[in-house]
Structure 1
Amino acid sequence: MSIPTTMRAVRITEHGSPEVLEHVEVPVPALRADEVLVSVRAVALNNTDLWTREGAYGRAGDPTALSGWRGPVDFPRIQGADVAGRVVAVGDGADPGLVGRRVVVDPAIYDGAGPEANPIGLMGSERDGGYAELVTAPAARAHDVTDSALTDDQLASLPTAYGTALGMIERGRLRQGETVLVSGASGGVGLALVQLARARGARVVAISSGSKIDAVREAGAHEVVDRAQDVVAQVRAAAPEGIDVGLDVVAGDLVSDGLPLLREGGRWVIAGALGGYAVDLDVRRLYLHNAQVIGSAMHTPRHFELLMDLAREAAVRPVVAAAFPLDQAARAQEELARRRHVGKIVLHP
């Protein structure tokens, strides 16, 4: 196909409310030798979009400082980490056989080339992302899913939410037959945790509320406790022998309340702070019971390969709550911030 010289995109030029999202015509990004150019069919929203736009990540020593995921954002920045689309061109050093292939892009920027490399940046934050008709990505990060039965919207829902969830599960060493507690279970990462933990053969106790409880149960949770009531008492009733692994995207008071729920040698994995970043922790609950608190930021290349294997087999099926055209990105982010939905919200460039 003929590659245009300009494209539609949504970008931010400063931190702020949804009004800072601007729908503009911009040059198509230049293609480097080791990169592919992807025609974006769907791009999913994440909390990282909100927090990057707001500058809500803080900095070491100053938690209230305006900052992106890993430091100051280089404006203007096209948002959007989660891209599904088709390769329309490749750089001189990339495999020309990728042209025309359906791909999911691993949005992580890693600190090395190995399978256990750590993410130190993210598409849509440290480099331009998929709120656009076209996006470039390293060829090594464009995973061929041409034969997957999943829709473009479902594929776009995988990278950050399911990648983060699988990273938590892998770092928490969740095994078949163990009991796992999932917080924030109706959100993108939470619902992914429920589905992936159930697929691994774990017994899943999830925390949700209100009308979302049934949807979380339908996603695979064995038990769902209502966060509007006494969570600890409900979890003790649902899992009287204790929890092997806590998979937590809420943090805040749940960490101090939840650690006593762990069995001997239990693991509490944290990948978010929706309930607050300040934690009052009784360390005796750790060393007296050989428990561990594990931080988990996204995934490694090995984790993402495992996720793409699941995508090719359609072994997990993301729930898509709503889709918006690209020029309604601000409305889509407002909908995401309201947290009334279950599943993922996507944009269609």
Structure 2
Amino acid sequence: MASVLLTGHGGPEKLEYRTDVPVPQPQADEVLIQVEAAGVNNTDINTRLGWYSKAVTTDTETASTNGGQDTAGEDASWSGIPLTFPRIQGGDVYGRIVAVGEGVSAQRINDQVIVRNLMRHYVNYRPYECWTYGSECDGGFAQFAVAPSNESYSVHSPLSAPELGAISIAYSTAEGMLYRAGVGAERVVITGASGGVGLAAVQLAKLRGAHVTAICSQEKADPVIKAGADRVIDRRADLSAELDTKSIDVAVDVVGGGGVNKLLAALRRGGRYAIAGAIAGPIAEIDLRTVYLNDLSLFGCTFQEDEVFENVIRYVNNGEVKPLVSKTYPLSDIRTAQQDFISKKYPGKLVLIPPTLGSDA
């Protein structure tokens, strides 16, 4: 089959497009999925770069420019276990089940499915443990992928294949943050709002009845407003001037970096701050007095309760969400797609399309 092999930590040269990779076989409790679309995400790029290593202190774009960490150690993965290479990445997968392993009903064949990207099957559903699809096991940057049957969720939606291939990571990350912070009909500020996770967070916060202030570049404000944002602040603006002190109930942050302290200052007493990314850099200086004197709650959001992904699939099947896919690329153009993603050239999601059967393209 055609697939992209990650051969080590480092720059885009570590991504090798091949057409002679064996098709994986589903083991007990697994299914074989013919991949129709696979989204591009920070997770895959950061893993390739070795960005999760504590040795890295820069933002993703700078780390990419520097060529990544070709000597990254065991802390360069989500789990703390060193990656084994070659690895097929790809945490966003939409496709059709074409074969099943032992213990899985043959009635699942032809099911259209989205795979949960933070998988709990392989860790026996222990709290705060998961395998990241495309990191601890092979993922969806290929014509075929295997996944646990119980983490391959049936979808019945008029959304296109690229749109469905843009759901898993962005919407589960956003839903996980809102779920963990208990967001309701209140005042919410969302950073990185023009990206895949940010746009998903805007849509999902509005489903909860929230008043949403979105932070993004002014050039990308239109899709953020269309997603439901009540107000847009240019990301280059001074947040201290734009957000009154103690005016926000919840901050939903995927940017991190130098803006964290100002977000915390904007939270009301008893406010909540949820973070699930740090594209502007993993190191932030905060005033701890702001945190404890105002009884703030800070939530680091990676692990997701089962209800989170179940909610996402329900939103999809009920027609309540619609991702913005700005561009699709053939799987063979993964290097270009990832570079476009890193440069933030487009709002929303970028999606890879594997070749159809019988094609090497």
Band of TM-score, shorter chain: over 0.9
Separation in 2, partners of 1:144, 1:325: 25
**Of the candidates 184, 189, 192, which is equivalent to residue 184 of structure 1?**
192
Question: Structure 1 residues 346 and 106 mapped into 2: Cα distance closer, same or farther (>3 Å)?
Answer: same
1:228 alignment counterpart: 236
Counterpart residue identity of residue 324, structure 1: Y
Relative to 1, partners in 2 of residues 1:17 and 1:63: Cα closer, same or farther, differing over 3 Å?
closer
Matched residue, 2:64: none
Q: Deviation string for 1:259-310 (max 9, x for gaps)?
A: 1111121000011111221222212212222111110015332100011000
Counterpart of 1:198 in 2: which secondary structure? Answer: helix
Aligned to 2:63: none
1:52 matched to 2:51? The reply is no
Mapping of 1:5-84 within 5 angstroms? Answer: 7-24=1-18, 25-59=20-54, 62-63=55-56, 66=72, 67-71=76-80, 72-84=82-94
Is this contact kept in 2: 1:180–1:244, CA < 8 A?
yes
The equivalent position to 1:133 in structure 2, one of 121, 128, 143, is: 143
Alpha-carbon distance between aligned partners in 1 of 2:275 and 2:301, rounded to the nearest angstrom: 6
Asked whether the 8 Å contact 2:246–2:269 carries over to 1, the reply is no
Counterpart-to-counterpart distance in 2, 1:30 and 1:83: 17
Counterpart for residue 115 of structure 2: 105
- Gap regions ≥5 residues in structure 2: 58-68, 355-361
Q: TM-score, normalised by structure 2?
A: 0.89
Letter aligned with residue 148 of structure 2: P
3-state SS of paired residue (1:286): helix
Aligned pairs for 1:146-165 (under 5 A) are 147-165=156-174
Please tell me whether the aligned partners of residues 165 and 298 of structure 1 are also in contact (alpha carbons under 8 angstroms). no
Task: Name the SS of the counterpart of 1:285 in structure 2.
Answer: helix
Is the CA contact (8 Å cut-off) linking 2:100 and 2:106 kept in structure 1?
yes
2: distance between equivalents of 1:63 and 1:325? 31
Query: How many correspondences in the alignment?
Result: 335
**CA deviation map 1:172-206 (0-9, x unaligned):** 10012x00000011111111111110111100001
2:119, 2:130 within 8 Å by CA — same for their partners in 1? yes
Amino acid at match of 1:166: E
Under a length normalisation based on structure 1, what TM-score does the superposition of the two structures give? Answer: 0.92
Superposed displacement of residue 118, structure 1: 3.0
> How many Å separate the matches in 1 of 2:271 and 2:100?
46
1:112, distance to aligned residue in structure 2 (A): 4.9
Cα distance in 2 for residues equivalent to 1:241 and 1:149: 42
* Greater strand proportion: 1
- Alpha-carbon contact 1:225-1:235 (below 8 Å) kept: no
* Residue pair 1:9, 1:78 contacting (<8 A) in 2 also: yes
Distance of 1:300 and 1:11 partners within structure 2: 30
- Does the 8 Å contact 1:160/1:298 carry over to 2? no
Q: CA RMSD in A?
A: 1.6
Deviations 1:73-105 (A, max 9, x none): 110001100000000011111122110110111
Aligned to 1:348: 353
Shift of 1:121: 2.4
Measured against aligned partners, the alpha-carbon deviations of 1:130-168 in whole angstroms (never above 9, x if no partner) come to 0100000000101011x2122111111111111000000
Question: Shift of residue 120 of structure 1?
Answer: 3.0
Distance 1:262 1:224 in 2: 17
Q: How far is 1:69 from its partner?
A: 2.7
What does the per-residue CA deviation read over 1:306-339, in whole Å, with 9 as the maximum and x for residues that have no partner? Answer: 1100011120000001001111111111111110
Q: Confirm whether residue 171 of structure 1 aligns to residue 180 of structure 2.
A: yes
* Native 8 Å contact 2:123 2:131 kept in 1: no
Q: Who is 1:206 aligned against?
A: 214
The question of whether the paired residues in 2 share the 8 Å contact of 1:12 and 1:75 is answered with: yes
SS in 2 for 1:211: helix
Gaps of 5+ in 1: 1-6
Distance across 1 between alignment mates of 2:159 and 2:128: 28
For 1:241 and 1:17, the matched residues in 2 are separated by 42
- Separation in 1, partners of 2:117, 2:29: 15
For the residue of structure 1 that corresponds to 2:202, the secondary structure is: helix
The residue number in structure 2 matching 1:279 is: 284
- Other structure's SS at 2:21 match: strand
